[in-house]
């Protein structure tokens, strides 16, 4: 008697070598091959090829990976975020975290008043070419006309601070590419290498410093009265 006649149908089906099918994958450009288990009837084979969930007690075969149709992979590419060159002024209040809550609130109110009263701020705001982003213990101001704007604004703020000796600021200036993004509060925020470099410039400073990146500072030697100021300034 033949040995395979002693096996049950299910066992005999499991002993058969798997068949192989080839189909063109909608994801990969080259055809992919998957094993077609033995013992499937015509309906089960079609379901397996389609990638649908397949579970049969008769063969003990379970397939949980559903095939992806071409329609599922046709995802519309998202447009790139608009890139702009911004001239950034980052302002940070030194020692802010050591203050009491009431003192922090009062300091920010005074700082906002000082910044908003500068001529550069008012001019840029009037023309609609200014973005203001709060930063907890400071702020970021983005100008879009020229790199001279954040520098002049920083000098105006520094001059006004003479009447507020208890406010210690450090400021960093840089020009670079930024993207305008919408945060969780549906408000405008900023991302990109421009803001990242500006933050690193700011981190190098201490109370009373106005630091310029080399990209910005190199252009002020011939612009009076800024040339006299930045001849003694520190560039990063």
Which of the 8 DSSP states describes residue 77?
Answer: P
Q: Read off the pLDDT of residues 196-235 as tens digits, 9 standing for 90 and up.
A: 999 999 999 999 999 998 877 666 655 555 555 554 444 4
CA distances from 157 to 43, 111, 117, 172, 194 (A): 78, 9, 9, 13, 22
**What local confidence, expressed as pLDDT, does residue 30 receive?**
45
**64 Cβ contact list (under 8 Å, min separation 6):** 53
Q: Read off the pLDDT of residues 181-195 as tens digits, 9 standing for 90 and up.
A: 888 888 888 999 999
Q: Read off the pLDDT of residues 14-64 as tens digits, 9 standing for 90 and up.
A: 555 554 444 444 444 444 445 566 666 676 666 656 655 445 444 554 444
Q: Read off the pLDDT of residues 134-179 as tens digits, 9 standing for 90 and up.
A: 988 899 999 999 999 999 999 999 999 999 999 999 999 999 999 9
- Torsion sign, CA atoms 215, 217, 222, 225: positive
Three-state DSSP class for residue 76? coil
Q: Read off the pLDDT of residues 61-82 as tens digits, 9 standing for 90 and up.
A: 444 444 444 444 445 555 556 7
Total-model pTM: 0.61
Three-state DSSP class for residue 141? strand
Residue ranges of alpha helices (H) inside the chain are 9-15, 42-50, 70-73, 101-116, 119-127, 148-160, 193-203, 214-217, 226-230
Q: Read off the pLDDT of residues 94-104 as tens digits, 9 standing for 90 and up.
A: 999 999 999 99
């Amino acid at each position: 008697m033949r040995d395979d006649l002693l096996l049950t149908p299910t066992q005999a089906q499991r002993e058969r070598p798997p068949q192989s099918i080839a189909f063109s994958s909608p994801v990969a450009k080259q055809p992919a091959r998957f094993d077609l288990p033995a013992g499937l009837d015509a309906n089960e084979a079609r379901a397996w090829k389609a990638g649908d969930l397949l579970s049969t007690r008769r063969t003990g075969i379970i397939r949980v990976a559903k095939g992806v149709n071409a329609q599922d992979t046709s995802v519309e590419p998202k447009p790139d975020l608009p890139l702009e060159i911004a001239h950034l002024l980052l302002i940070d209040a030194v020692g802010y975290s050591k203050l009491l809550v009431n003192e922090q609130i009062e300091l920010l109110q005074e700082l906002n008043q000082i910044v908003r009263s500068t001529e550069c701020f008012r001019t840029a705001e009037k023309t609609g070419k200014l973005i203001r982003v709060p930063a907890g213990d400071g702020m970021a101001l983005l100008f879009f006309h020229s790199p001279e704007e954040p520098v002049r604004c920083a000098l105006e703020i520094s001059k006004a601070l003479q009447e507020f000796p208890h406010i210690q600021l450090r400021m960093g200036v840089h020009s670079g590419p930024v993207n305008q993004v919408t945060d969780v509060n549906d408000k405008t925020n900023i991302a990109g290498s421009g803001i990242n470099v500006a933050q690193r410039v700011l981190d190098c400073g201490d109370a009373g410093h106005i630091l310029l990146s080399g990209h910005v500072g190199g252009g002020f030697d011939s612009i009076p009265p800024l040339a006299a100021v930045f001849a003694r300034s520190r560039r990063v």
